[in-house]
Structure 1
Amino acid sequence: MGHERATKGRLTRLAGVVAMVAALAACDEGAGGAQAAATPGAPPPPAVTVQQVTLTDVPLTREYAGRTQGAREVQVRARVAGILLERTYVEGQAVAQGDLLFRIDPQPFQVRLNAAEAGLQQSRAGLRQAERNWARVAELWQSRTISARTRDDAQAELDLARAAVAAAEAEVASARIDLGYTTVEAPISGVTSLEDLPEGSLVGTGADNGLLTTITQLDPLHVVFAMPEAERMRERGLLESGRASREGEDGRVAVEIVLGDGSVHPQEGWVDFTASGVDPNTGTIRARAIVPNPDHRLLPGQFVRVRAKGLVQNGVALIPDKALMQGPQGPFVYVVDGEDKAQPRPVTAGALVDGARVIEAGLATGDRVITGGVIKVRPGAPVQAVSATAAAPDGGTGTGTGEQQQEARR
């Protein structure tokens, strides 16, 4: 009996060991199966954001560095010599054309005018005497009672008297003009500078003592700038080929003036002059714009940015600038073909408009350009395309893992 119980105990322990081994084997098999199940297959196509191309007409703007200057700047000078008696304006004040600015002592010129008028009266009296004398001589000549020499002398006396009257009249006119020059008026409307000669000074008509003040016209104002020759030629080529057009019926180039703080001048101007030649030193073409300036916000000598408008490029595509790539053969973009594969497409890039790049050639309506997740794209590789309109508000693709969305945002 004891031997049978020992045998049963050994069998029981052996069965337990077998069961344990079987359990361990089952565990190893399960772990191997789980490991095999965790091994990934081929990675999924990368998620990218695409934008469908639509050809449209795009207004173009070009910016140039410019400098303001007065439309007209006139030096006000004395035209007669004398003592400066009075200045009638406040320095730096805006004056209108015809306003009185200075008074020069008029008394010497009034005396000269009086003397000239007296000389004129004397000449006219001499003319009347010569006319009466000629009338008597003419009657005597008809009766042949005087000689031809006497008649000729009377005729010469009459002619001299007439000439003396003409000279006296000219002298009176000259004296009257000089008297008028003793009041100096503003030749144009504008803003006055500091006076160069104070009241009580002896002014003259020379270069060193004749300048009284300077008037600068501020409304309108001129802005001078220069455009690169290549850009000007390219613009002309676009217009002549019909790939671009001008806005407006008059064909004028409208401009906006951007100040140093980034603000835009309220009034638009227009280009009124473009040089017919190229500056050989800079390779640029000089141009000028007229800008209304009723509130005198712009002042001469300011450095500004001139933003030329009115040029419309026809039938082009607009894509985000980040979608444009550079390769050994030039600029290109990735487009998604009908098999959802990314294919490089060479393009002709144009101007940058509000952060978007103009594509002049290489794209057609309906093409899907990759604009997000380009860094993960390989030529000819499949992609998971998501329209830009369906992308997440934060810039992701709206689908896929968080890592994919982060990459799309980049």
Structure 2
Amino acid sequence: MPSHRFRLILLSAALLAAPLAGCGEDKAANATAAAPPPPKVTVAKPTQKLVSDYDEYVGRFVAYDFVEVRARVSGYLDKIHFTDGQLVKEGDDLFTIDRRPFEASLDQAKAAVEQAKANLAFAEADLTRGSNLVPGTSITQQTLDQRTQAKRVAAASVTAQEAAVRQAELDLQFTELRSPISGRIGDRRVSIGNLVTGGTTGNTTLLATVASVDPIRFEFTMDEASFLRYLDLASAQGSSSANRGMSLPVRLKLIDEDTFGHEGKIDFVDNAIDRSSGTIRGRAEFKNPDGKLTPGMFGRIQITAKPPATALLVPDAAIATEQARKFVYAVSADDVATQKYVELGPVVDGLRVITAGLDANDTVVVNGLMRVRPGIKVAPERETATKEADGTVVGTN
């Protein structure tokens, strides 16, 4: 009887163990099926490129030439020959002052010349007659001297009146105000019919201003240490210190632009450092065929600070931030992602320069950064970072 009872207990235990074993196998299978696959990421090796180190400065555009149009003669404004803000060429008519008073003055001056010439002719004839007489008998020496003096006075009067004619002709020419330079003219400051004060004094009437357009200059200030560094760089490149580094290339961007797309050259560096600020003024020249660059406009200029050297570049999308430090994810040969802390340089052609912390043989995650954690295994798709014409960084197999 006891053995029968023992067999029943063993049978019950076996029946209970079978379902429990089945549950354990199902849980293990489910655990294996629930493990997530490695995240897919795009990886690429850093781009190697010859780049230069740049310094950046903020400055303002100034016109190559800027002229205030003022009248040289006084009179009433008769005509205006331009539209406010238009482009004008050197020699184009801008204003006309009423010419009639100056034409009358010129006619008077010409008439005075004719009168002076008539007086001279009479004085010369009178002197000739007196010279043919016997001095001391028919004519006194005093009378002969008086006729000689009269002839000289008449000749001087002719010279003076001819000068008056030339001045009257100049005044008549000055009634036509022409553009002294090519550029863009501002708005008119005086309307037709108003009296214009001319001359060479400081109270003359300002009629308009003309600013040259192409080329245009950009003024900025640099600190003393940077100025010395540029001189050293210019000397290393074979330039003499006399030109003060004017051969250094510069690039510029406006406040609404992302890249330094305007290329120019330094054409002037001041001859003294400002004692109060410790800076020196520099000036660069840029071409401006479309007239977009406007005097008074702000911009940022880049100046080469070091000779060109090979650098590693990655897209900005590959760079992550950990508090104050920057890092990238480098993928090892066994596809494990690890953090590499890097130091950043400027942006060149849409890619970020890495100055330290990265090797040319490293493989960097450039897409899918949010799916990566340090030490996890990833499923990399290998690509090469390139830059499209519109400035976007893309991958090509």
For this structure pair, what is the TM-score category when the shorter chain's length is used for normalisation? Answer: 0.5 to 0.7
Equivalent of residue 211 in structure 1, options 202, 205, 211: 205
Answer yes or no: is 1:76 the counterpart of 2:72. no
| Distance in 1 of aligned mates of 2:186 and 2:330 | 63
**What is aligned with 1:247?**
none
| Distance in 1 of aligned mates of 2:59 and 2:251 | 12
**What is aligned with 2:155?**
162
1:248-275: CA deviations, max 9, x gaps?
xx95736455463x4999x955245443
1:335/1:368 contact within 8 Å kept = yes
Once the 2 structures are TM-superposed, how far is the Cα of residue 389 of structure 1 from its aligned partner?
Answer: 1.9
**What is aligned with 2:110?**
117
Aligned length: 361
Matching residue's letter, 1:217? A
- SS of 2:181's equivalent in the other structure is coil
| Distance in 2 of aligned mates of 1:333 and 1:114 | 87
Answer yes or no: is 1:315 the counterpart of 2:310. yes
1:54/1:364 contact within 8 Å kept = no
Identify which range, 18-27 or 68-77, moves more after superposition: 18-27
Distance 1:137 1:317, change over 3 A: farther
**What is aligned with 1:291?**
287
1:47-80: CA deviations, max 9, x gaps?
9987545643136777654544544332222211
Identify which range, 150-159 or 199-208, moves more after superposition: 150-159
Identity of aligned residues (%): 29
| Distance in 2 of aligned mates of 1:309 and 1:141 | 91
1:203/1:209 contact within 8 Å kept = no
Once the 2 structures are TM-superposed, how far is the Cα of residue 178 of structure 1 from its aligned partner?
Answer: 0.9
- SS of 1:219's equivalent in the other structure is coil
Identify which range, 190-199 or 233-242, moves more after superposition: 233-242
**What is aligned with 2:89?**
96
Please report the RMSD computed on the Cα atoms of aligned residues, expressed in angstroms.
5.5
Distance 1:34 1:76, change over 3 A: closer
Matching residue's letter, 1:353? V
| Distance in 1 of aligned mates of 2:28 and 2:107 | 126
| Distance in 2 of aligned mates of 1:351 and 1:235 | 18
1:150-194: CA deviations, max 9, x gaps?
877666555444333222221111111112222222323344433
Once the 2 structures are TM-superposed, how far is the Cα of residue 313 of structure 1 from its aligned partner?
Answer: 2.7
Matching residue's letter, 2:160? A
**What is aligned with 2:6?**
14
Once the 2 structures are TM-superposed, how far is the Cα of residue 13 of structure 1 from its aligned partner?
Answer: 2.5
**What is aligned with 1:201?**
194
1:87/1:199 contact within 8 Å kept = yes
Matching residue's letter, 1:316? A
1:350/1:360 contact within 8 Å kept = yes
- SS of 1:118's equivalent in the other structure is helix
Once the 2 structures are TM-superposed, how far is the Cα of residue 15 of structure 1 from its aligned partner?
Answer: 1.7
Distance 1:347 1:227, change over 3 A: farther
- SS of 1:196's equivalent in the other structure is coil
**What is aligned with 2:35?**
none
Once the 2 structures are TM-superposed, how far is the Cα of residue 139 of structure 1 from its aligned partner?
Answer: 7.3
**What is aligned with 2:348?**
353
1:69/1:224 contact within 8 Å kept = yes
Matching residue's letter, 1:358? V
Once the 2 structures are TM-superposed, how far is the Cα of residue 29 of structure 1 from its aligned partner?
Answer: 9.7
Matching residue's letter, 1:318? L
**What is aligned with 1:270?**
264
Distance 1:233 1:49, change over 3 A: farther
Distance 1:215 1:98, change over 3 A: same
- SS of 2:213's equivalent in the other structure is strand
Answer yes or no: is 1:181 the counterpart of 2:179. no
Matching residue's letter, 1:109? F
Larger Rg: 1
Equivalent of residue 376 in structure 1, options 370, 374, 386: 374
Once the 2 structures are TM-superposed, how far is the Cα of residue 120 of structure 1 from its aligned partner?
Answer: 1.9
1:302-337: CA deviations, max 9, x gaps?
44x446589983222224555588999x98888789
Distance 1:11 1:96, change over 3 A: same
- SS of 1:89's equivalent in the other structure is coil
Gaps of 5+ in 2: 33-37, 238-245, 385-397
TM-score by length of 2: 0.63
| Distance in 2 of aligned mates of 1:127 and 1:233 | 72
1:123/1:165 contact within 8 Å kept = yes
Matching residue's letter, 1:100? D
Matching residue's letter, 1:275? V
1:353-410: CA deviations, max 9, x gaps?
3553324567665456687688625xxxxx869877269xxxxxxxxxxxxxxxxxxx
2:339/2:374 contact within 8 Å kept = no
Identify which range, 190-199 or 106-115, moves more after superposition: 190-199
- SS of 1:125's equivalent in the other structure is helix
| Distance in 2 of aligned mates of 1:240 and 1:359 | 28
Once the 2 structures are TM-superposed, how far is the Cα of residue 100 of structure 1 from its aligned partner?
Answer: 2.6
2:66/2:210 contact within 8 Å kept = yes
Matching residue's letter, 1:219? V
Matching residue's letter, 2:113? L
| Distance in 2 of aligned mates of 1:81 and 1:105 | 9
Identify which range, 107-116 or 87-96, moves more after superposition: 87-96
